[in-house]
């Protein structure tokens, strides 16, 4: 996408300028709730996929606006890796993931275990495990299962729960945390 802003800058150029100053000037958020209400000028998501080997590190929000091209790239990254089916990932889920990440004060990217799941994949996983909901939010592009090597499942879950913005599931035996933008609730140990 090569659209220009009112001042003649390309969106890519604007992103580059903001990215260059991100490390030294990014705002610090006292809590995730403030962050989710738009208390910052820049939002950035960092993840990698052990399944596909892909990595993503991008700014997806600047000055109160989502960047459509970045959201499309996040949705592609979070596609069903088994089938390559893709669904638009709800930006609220991305915001929760980002806010929780910021609360943990780590530069380590999330490892994406599962993002969008097509109906066939979800049915297969549901048949194998009682921990997979038949009507999962993964089917709607509203959920992510994530891991950080530098943080425990409990630390990640506490950060996500502090957002008070969706569902948080602890899967300690599998070493990941589920985050979604559905009703506020929690489960697991």
Length of the chain measured in residues: 189
Long-range contacts, stretch 75-81, CB < 8 angstroms, 24+ apart: 75/116, 75/141, 77/47, 77/49, 77/112, 77/115, 78/112, 78/115, 78/116, 78/141, 78/144, 79/115, 79/116, 80/115, 80/116, 80/117, 80/118, 80/121, 81/49, 81/51, 81/52
pLDDT (tens digit per residue) in 89-100: 999 999 999 999
Is the entire prediction scored with pTM above 0.95? no
Q: Average of pLDDT values for 102-128?
A: 92
Is the confidence at residue 7, as pLDDT, over 70?
no
d(CA 143, CA 127): 19
Q: What is the pLDDT confidence band of residue 40, given thresholds at 50, 70 and 90? A: low
* Helix, strand, coil fractions of the chain, as percent rounded to 5: 35, 25, 40
In CATH, the number for domain 11-188 is 3.30.1380.10
Residue 23: its pLDDT value, please? Answer: 33
pLDDT (tens digit per residue) in 53-101: 999 999 999 988 999 999 999 999 999 999 999 999 999 999 999 999 9
Q: Which two tokens stand for residue 71?
A: 């959201």
Is the confidence at residue 36, as pLDDT, over 70?
no
Q: Which two tokens stand for residue 112?
A: 């994406």
């Amino acid at each position: 996408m090569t659209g220009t802003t009112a001042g003649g800058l390309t969106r890519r150029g604007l992103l580059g300028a903001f990215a260059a100053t991100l490390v030294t000037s990014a705002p610090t958020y006292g809590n995730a709730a403030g962050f989710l209400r738009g208390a910052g000028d820049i939002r950035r998501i960092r993840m990698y996929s052990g399944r596909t080997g892909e990595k993503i590190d991008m700014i997806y929000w600047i000055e109160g606006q989502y960047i459509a091209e970045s959201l499309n790239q996040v949705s592609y990254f979070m596609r069903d890796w088994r089938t390559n089916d893709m669904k638009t990932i709800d930006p609220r889920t991305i915001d929760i993931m980002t806010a929780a990440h910021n609360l943990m004060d780590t530069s380590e990217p999330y490892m994406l275990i599962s993002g969008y799941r097509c109906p066939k994949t979800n049915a297969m996983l549901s048949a194998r495990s009682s921990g997979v909901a038949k009507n999962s939010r993964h089917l709607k592009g509203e959920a992510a299962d994530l891991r950080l090597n530098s943080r425990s499942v409990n630390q990640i879950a506490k950060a996500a729960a502090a957002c008070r913005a969706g569902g948080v599931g602890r899967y300690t035996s599998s070493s990941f945390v589920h985050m979604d933008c559905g009703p506020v609730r929690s489960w697991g140990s």
